[in-house]
Amino acid sequence: MKIAILPGDGIGPEIVAQAVKVLNVLGEPFELETAPVGGAGYAAHGHPLPEGTLALAKAADAVLFGAVGDYQYDNLERSLRPEQAILGLRKQLGLFANLRPAILYPELAGASTLKPEVVSGLDILIIRELTGDIYFGQPRGVRECPDGPFKGQREGYDTMRYAEGEIRRIAHVAFQAAQKRDKRLTSVDKANVLETFQFWKDIVIDVHKEYPDVALEHMYVDNAAMQLVRAPKKFDVIVTGNMFGDILSDAAAMLTGSIGMLPSASLDASNKGLYEPSHGSAPDIAGKGIANPLATILSAAMMLRFSLNKPEQADRIENAVKAVLAQGLRTADIYEAGTTKVGTEEMGNAVVKAL
Amino acid sequence: MKIAILPGDGIGPEIVAQAVKVLNVLGEPFELETAPVGGAGYAAHGHPLPEGTLALAKAADAVLFGAVGDYQYDNLERSLRPEQAILGLRKQLGLFANLRPAILYPELAGASTLKPEVVSGLDILIIRELTGDIYFGQPRGVRECPDGPFKGQREGYDTMRYAEGEIRRIAHVAFQAAQKRDKRLTSVDKANVLETFQFWKDIVIDVHKEYPDVALEHMYVDNAAMQLVRAPKKFDVIVTGNMFGDILSDAAAMLTGSIGMLPSASLDASNKGLYEPSHGSAPDIAGKGIANPLATILSAAMMLRFSLNKPEQADRIENAVKAVLAQGLRTADIYEAGTTKVGTEEMGNAVVKAL
Ligand SMILES: CC(C)[C@H](C(=O)O)[C@@H](O)C(=O)O
Ligand SMILES: CC(C)[C@H](C(=O)O)[C@@H](O)C(=O)O
């Protein structure tokens, strides 16, 4: 089984190194191959997603991704900026289903800015469609405004689009995920304003007929943003489009106060996937050896479960992470008085030991 | 000075009645005229925004709006549903600047789901563009998908658009609002993905040249959603588009835990405006006399300040609201042990008395 390792920029290389260490001690015949991506891709080959990196990702059974972005790439033209690598990989690999668990480990309840009773035990799963919507919809650009009171001025424009098949396949992923959990699905839309999301809602209702055991509710995106703050534990699985999912999944991650703990998976139609921590490249702390590697290690666990068909190994890693938390080890981002502060490498070593 | 009173549905009539009582004791020669809107408009005249109501709103110097929406209108076709009245009023009256303060009154810090130290003293102002973006952009609809892997299937689509002049005018409102506060403006965009918002960012940077005393920062919408949860007090004024503003302003309101306290203003180019509470029509508690009228009363205060040029009367109302809170009076939504629970009408009477 071949795994493409794309460390990226900022803290990416440091945290991915710990996940690789963990993968290497599992005793599985994985073949790991590393390639540059993001700013590192641009520095090495003049493009954030170099051809060789894309070819490797396509050939591999799964991709372990660190994070991309660093100050020195901020002023590149948009098509060359690091985050284009993420968008390119999603589109080129057909990774349409983004799974983002927002889980609050009991030991870390204090890290949240929300009151403990509101978030302790939080365990929700946000499923975000990842290859459609306004992210990729054509036409888009800057043009002369063709009508209305601003006719003749310059205007920026983009197109939000969802085709029936695109909505159906993400709805199936969401209903099936709900079946494995508490059997409750919230479909988030803006059907009161957007044609795209009235259509989304209609299709989700239709797919629901195949999953009568799942309770489906519909919620407007503005209300969903409120309910995530008010009573996040009421959710089980949330499914939504690419744009709303971008916003809500980050808000949900931040509710836990420990975004350094949260993995994510982006899957194609045959469960090949890209796995990455939910946090970013944090260039301000890069190279200091203090970044939290656990989200990346837990992303490797998701990879074992969803793409490499090794659920027992995934369980082993997740239990090892719980064990190091129980031992009181904390990186700086989740440190609290009374616990033991450790660096990136010590944390990785502790997980290896707990395995 | 003529004020259009549009109570709407659900708790709308009850809370607006209290605000009207407050307006009537100010000793000003206001002419108030009431008309049905939302579900009530549909029930009376077959349309959520009846012609007579629109004409009244156009003729008036300001509009005081309650809330719209009730169960019995949920299954109407979209163009007849209550919320179309809001969208219609915004568009027809050119109300492009939505001002949504998110303020946490010290007495109500306990109502928030966030820890007191994270939110106490919160005082941010979200300025949402209200007549452009994907809310109104043409073309939109359901069609046969013209290209790509889903070609030939049905698809829903909408168009996000912002013309230069549209961005300039909301940017001016935002910079000027920041000048009257802590002189810090955060422009929220998604310039890394959307052409519309790269254009938005470019124009905001250009308008900034006229306001060198205001510190401008740019933030991606997903990060803004996170920072609102992580450290909301770091913001002063936020400006963003219609869609992102819908989501972020509701999230910010919910941070306070007391959305029943939050007013809003929607202004046109000459400071004519529509004023409404940030909360909805709450049909589940309609008619019970327990709704919180303070957001509507505070909306009337905003109306006096922005549209009717009576800032001292606005101050009087705001001080009266602070006084009733200091007296320990609370409607059910903000009630805590040790305070005195009152109904809608008692709360309105208490404000009148405090005046
Ligand atoms: C970097 C950016 C293009 C990306 C997105 O908006 O999808 C990121 O925010 C994410 O959520 O993975
Ligand atoms: C009712 C709806 C159309 C409206 C909006 O999305 O603007 C509401 O959510 C609001 O924020 O006033």
The reply to whether A135 belongs to the active site is yes
Among all bound ligands, the one having the nearest atom to the CA of A189 is 2
Sign of the CA dihedral B67, B73, B75, B77? negative
**pLDDT tops 90 at residue A212:** yes
Residue B315 at interface with chain A, using a CB cutoff of 8 Å: no
Per-residue pLDDT band for B251 (boundaries 50, 70, 90) equals very high
Find out whether the beta carbon of B193 lies less than 6 Å from any atom of ligand 1: yes
Q: Minimal Cα–Cα distance from A227 to chain B, Å? A: 8
**Averaged pLDDT score across all residues of chain A:** 97
**Average of pLDDT values for A154-177?**
98
Is the backbone of residue B338 left (phi > 0), alpha (psi -120 to 50) or beta? left
Q: How far is the CA of A196 from the centre of ligand 1 (A)?
A: 21
Number of helices and strands in chain B (H, E): 12, 14
Tell me the C-alpha distance between A49 and A33, whole Å: 16
Q: What pTM value is reported for the model?
A: 0.97
**Average of pLDDT values for A76-86?**
94
**Averaged pLDDT score across all residues of chain B:** 97
Q: How far is the CA of A234 from the centre of ligand 1 (A)?
A: 26
The reply to whether B9 belongs to the active site is no
Domains A1-99+262-355 and A123-255 share a fold: yes
Please write the tens of the pLDDT for every residue from A298-348.
999 999 999 999 999 999 999 999 999 999 999 999 999 999 999 999 999
- Decide if B155 and A164 are in contact by the 8 Å CB cutoff: yes
Find out whether the beta carbon of B87 lies less than 6 Å from any atom of ligand 2: yes
- Decide if A230 and B113 are in contact by the 8 Å CB cutoff: yes
Tell me the C-alpha distance between A72 and A40, whole Å: 11
Q: Strand pairing partners for B187? A: B218, B239
Find all residues with CB under 8 Å of B81, minimum gap 6, and list them: A192, B48, B69, B73, B74
Q: Pick the residue from chain A with its C-alpha nearest to B196.
A: A156
**Average of pLDDT values for B144-171?**
97
**pLDDT tops 90 at residue A74:** no
β pairing state of A273-277 and A263-267:
antiparallel
Q: Minimal Cα–Cα distance from B296 to chain A, Å? A: 20
DSSP sequence for A65-133: EEE---GGGTTS-GGGSTHHHHHHHHHHHT--EEEEEEE--GGGGGGSSB-HHHHTT-EEEEEEE-SSG
Q: Which CATH class is domain B123-255?
A: alpha beta
- Whether residue A261 contacts residue A252, with contact meaning beta carbons closer than 8 Å, is answered with no
- Residue A286 marked as a ligand binder: yes
Q: Give yes or no for a cis peptide into A139 (omega within 30° of 0).
A: yes
Percent of chain A with pLDDT over 90: 97
Q: Pick the residue from chain B with its C-alpha nearest to A189.
A: B247
- Chain B, residues 132-171, CB within 8 A of chain A, namely 134-135, 137-138, 140-142, 145, 147-150, 153-166
Nearest residue (CA) to ligand 1, atom 3: A83
- Residue A289 marked as a ligand binder: yes
Q: What number does the ligand 1 atom closest to the CA of A250 have?
A: 11
Nearest residue (CA) to ligand 2, atom 11: B246
- Residue A280 marked as a ligand binder: yes
Please write the tens of the pLDDT for every residue from B17-59.
999 999 999 999 999 999 999 999 999 999 999 999 999 999 9
Q: What number does the ligand 2 atom closest to the CA of B83 have?
A: 1
**pLDDT tops 90 at residue B201:** yes
From A135, A145, A229, residue closest to B163, measured CB to CB: A145
The CA-based diameter of chain A, rounded to the nearest angstrom, is 66
The reply to whether B250 belongs to the active site is yes
CATH architecture of A1-99+262-355: 3-Layer(aba) Sandwich (3.40)
DSSP class of residue B1 equals -
- The torsion angle over the Cα atoms of residues B233, B236, B242 and B244, rounded to 10 degrees, is -30
β pairing state of A123-129 and A97-103:
antiparallel
Residue ranges per structural domain of chain A: 1-99+262-355, 123-255
Q: Greater confidence, A233 or A78?
A: A233
Q: How far is the CA of B86 from the centre of ligand 2 (A)?
A: 7
Q: How far is the CA of B246 from the centre of ligand 2 (A)?
A: 7
- Domain B1-101+262-355 fold is Isopropylmalate Dehydrogenase (3.40.718)
Please write the tens of the pLDDT for every residue from B262-297.
999 999 999 999 999 999 999 999 999 999 999 999
- Residue B110 marked as a ligand binder: no
- The confidence score (pLDDT) of residue B74 equals 87
Tell me the C-alpha distance between A204 and A217, whole Å: 10
Size of interface A-B (CB pairs under 8 A): 192
Q: Strand pairing partners for A237? A: A125, A185
Please write the tens of the pLDDT for every residue from B315-334.
999 999 999 999 999 999 99
